[in-house]
């Protein structure tokens, strides 16, 4: 009897010890994969890898974060491919323009349905930014940062030409022509650089000159994408290109930052990250910023910004923790130090933000518009670039190209 009770005691102790031993197993280390498009050489990427992830891993010792940097267009491609092969990461930083597309593919988690404390988290973030992740009644991501583009100009070039920063579209066009020419080495100078011909690049011009991509309901492009105003915007850019006043989207052109920093492009339009980029590469270069010039349609820059989303194959608990961390005050403030405009309401009130050099961007966001929030946007975007590139190379008139494009986009929108 005694023997057996002893045995029992031993057994139960053993079981208890085993249970203790296995207890940490529940908290077994998980690794979550986080894909993003902070450029590999950027300050944001440094902050992410050297400040944020270590801090997160310290707070959550059982979670490891494997962050992977992709180039912007590669990230889109990689997510499509991985969706097909069920090798998606747990969390990704997505261009908000992609959210509808990925939602349609059914790979994003509706956070408001699956996360208990969703509302609490969402309330801490800017509503306007959060709306980029909302489709129908559900929300498929947390706003991570917001941005828009404003005009950067070369102070010395403007002084030498006796010009002030352009405030209207007409002034902008005139300035481009005036600033273009040759420098003392006989190298060509352009008034303005536009590094690509996608929606992100063209929309500010189209909108500010009174044009549009689709109707309000985003169901039709004919009459909008080929309206007189839109065609006029494209034609204006094509004329400037023909005169040698603007350039940038060609494969052989000088990259934007280098061209601006070496005085070859007098103006560029870009987001807040340009500030730290210029500081890193051309610290002595003197530039200033101005809002998007005002045209018939007003002054409308393009609303950018990223959401952080969770894929349905994710380790949801760990992923959600990481998402909350990234949108939390600490991470948002650290990222604000490298020119990422925060969306966390508390961070926006902090001194870091008040003293930040992205104040003009916050102002510009108020009048910025977002690109069509449709799932076929990537396709529309690439068709737009192809069509406008044909106009630039004088293969088609702006009217013909936009007429054809509008028809294609109508078909794409009809499939929505």
Partner 1 sequence: MKISKKAAYKGIIYLILTLGLIIVVLPMIYMLSTALKPNGALYEYPPRFFPKIKEITLENFQYILRQKKFGNNFINSIFVSTVTVAIAAVVAAAMAFCIARFRFLGRKFLFTFIMLTMIIPGTTLIVPQYELAVKLKVINKLSGLIPFYVAWVIPYSTFMIKGFVENIPRELDEATYIDGGSVFTVFFQIILPLTKPGIASVSIFNFLTAWEEFPWANTVINDDLKRTLPIAISGFFGQHQFTQWGYVFALSVLSLIPILVVFISCQRFFIEGLTAGSVKG
Partner 2 sequence: MKTKKSQNIQIGFLLLPGILIFGFFTIYPIVKLFITSFFKWDFGSMFDQEFIGFANYKEVLTDSYFHLAFSNSIVYTLITVPAQMILGLLIAMLINNINKFSISYRVAYYLPVITSWVIASLVFKYVFNTEGLLNYFLTKVIHLTSGNIHWLDSRWGGMSVAMLLGTWKGIGWNMVVFLAALQTVPRDLYESAALDGAGSIAKFFYVTIPSIKGTILFALVMLTIGGFNVFTSIKMITDGNPGHKTESVLTWMYYKAFSTGEFGYSAALSFIIAVVLGILAIVQFRMMDHSKLD
Residue 382 site contact among partner 2, partner 1, none (CB < 5 to 8 Å, cut-off depends on kind): partner 2
Residue 250 site contact among partner 2, partner 1, none (CB < 5 to 8 Å, cut-off depends on kind): partner 2
Residues 148-207 that bind partner 1 (CB under 8 A): 185, 187, 195-196
Q: Which is nearer to partner 1, 146 or 257 (CB)?
A: 257
Strands 150-154 and 265-270: antiparallel
Q: Which stretch binds partner 1 (CB under 8 A): 39-47, 53-61, 134-142, 303-311?
A: 39-47
Tell me 182's DSSP state.
Answer: E
User: How far apart are alpha carbons 409 and 261 in whole angstroms?
Assistant: 37
Burial (CB count <10 Å: 0-12, 13-18, 19+), residue 315: middle
Q: What x-and-dash track marks residues 250-289 binding partner 1 by CB under 8 A?
A: -x--xxxxx---x--------------x---x--------
Q: How far is the CB of 140 from partner 2 (least distance, A)?
A: 17
Tell me 66's DSSP state.
Answer: E
Residue 233 site contact among partner 2, partner 1, none (CB < 5 to 8 Å, cut-off depends on kind): none
Q: How far is the CB of 255 from partner 2 (least distance, A)?
A: 10
Q: How far is the CB of 184 from partner 2 (least distance, A)?
A: 13
The count of chain residues that interact with partner 1, using the rule CB under 8 A, is: 31
Q: Which stretch binds partner 2 (CB under 8 A): 40-48, 158-166, 332-340, 377-385?
A: 377-385
Q: Is 386 in the site for partner 2 (CB under 8 A)?
A: yes
Tell me 38's DSSP state.
Answer: S
User: How far apart are alpha carbons 130 and 327 in whole angstroms?
Assistant: 11
**Number of Cβ within a 10 Å radius of residue 252:** 5
Q: Which stretch binds partner 1 (CB under 8 A): 32-40, 230-238, 304-312, 391-399?
A: 32-40
User: How far apart are alpha carbons 106 and 120 in whole angstroms?
Assistant: 25
Give the chain's largest Cα–Cα span. 105
Residues 258-297 that bind partner 2 (CB under 8 A): 264
Could you tell me how many residues make up the chain?
416
Q: What angle separates helix 398-414 from helix 228-242, to the nearest 10 degrees? A: 130
User: How far apart are alpha carbons 147 and 145 in whole angstroms?
Assistant: 7
Q: Which is nearer to partner 1, 144 or 268 (CB)?
A: 268
CB contact at 8 A, 324 and 125? no
Residues 44-83 that bind partner 2 (CB under 8 A): 73, 77, 80-81, 83
Q: How far is the CB of 191 from partner 2 (least distance, A)?
A: 17
Q: What angle separates helix 377-392 from helix 228-242, to the nearest 10 degrees? A: 50
Binding site for partner 1 (CB under 8 A): 35, 39-41, 66, 68-71, 78, 81-82, 84-87, 185, 187, 195-196, 248-249, 251, 254-258, 262, 277, 281
């Amino acid at each position: 009897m005694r023997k057996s009770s002893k045995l029992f005691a031993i057994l139960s102790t053993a079981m208890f010890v085993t249970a203790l031993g296995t207890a940490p197993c529940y908290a077994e280390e998980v690794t979550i994969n986080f894909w993003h498009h902070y450029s590999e050489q950027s300050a944001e990427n440094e902050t992410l890898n050297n400040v944020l992830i270590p801090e997160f891993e310290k707070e959550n010792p059982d979670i490891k974060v494997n962050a992977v940097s992709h180039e912007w267009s590669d990230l889109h491609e990689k997510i499509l491919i991985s969706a097909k092969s069920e090798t998606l990461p747990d969390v990704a930083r997505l261009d908000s323009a992609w959210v509808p597309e990925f939602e349609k593919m059914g790979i994003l988690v509706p956070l408001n349905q699956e996360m208990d404390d969703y509302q609490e988290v969402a309330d801490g973030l800017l509503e306007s930014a959060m709306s980029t992740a909302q489709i129908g009644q559900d929300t498929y991501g947390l706003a991570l940062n917001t941005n828009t583009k404003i005009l950067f100009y070369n102070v010395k070039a403007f002084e030498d030409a006796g010009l002030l920063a352009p405030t209207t579209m007409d002034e902008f066009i005139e300035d481009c022509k005036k600033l273009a020419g040759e420098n003392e080495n006989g190298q060509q100078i352009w008034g303005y650089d536009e590094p690509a011909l996608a929606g992100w690049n063209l929309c500010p011009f189209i909108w500010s000159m009174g044009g549009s991509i689709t109707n309000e309901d985003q169901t039709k492009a004919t009459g909008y994408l080929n309206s007189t105003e839109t065609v006029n915007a494209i034609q204006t850019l094509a004329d400037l290109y023909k005169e040698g006043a603007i350039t940038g989207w060609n494969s052989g052109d000088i990259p934007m930052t280098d061209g601006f920093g070496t005085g070859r492009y007098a103006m560029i339009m870009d987001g807040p990250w340009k500030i730290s980029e210029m500081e890193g590469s051309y610290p002595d270069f003197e530039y200033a910023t101005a809002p998007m010039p005002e045209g018939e349609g007003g002054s409308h820059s393009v609303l950018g910004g990223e959401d952080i989303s969770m894929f349905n194959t994710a380790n949801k608990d760990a992923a959600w923790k990481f998402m909350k961390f990234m949108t939390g005050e600490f991470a948002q403030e650290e990222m604000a130090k490298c020119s990422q405009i925060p969306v966390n309401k508390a961070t926006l009130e902090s001194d870091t933000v008040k003293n930040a050099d992205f104040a003009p961007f916050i102002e510009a966001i108020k009048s910025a518009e977002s690109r069509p929030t449709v799932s076929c946007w990537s396709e529309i975007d690439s068709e737009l670039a192809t069509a406008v590139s044909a106009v630039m190379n004088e293969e088609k008139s702006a009217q013909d190209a936009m007429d054809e494009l509008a028809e294609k986009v109508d078909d794409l929108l009809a499939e929505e």
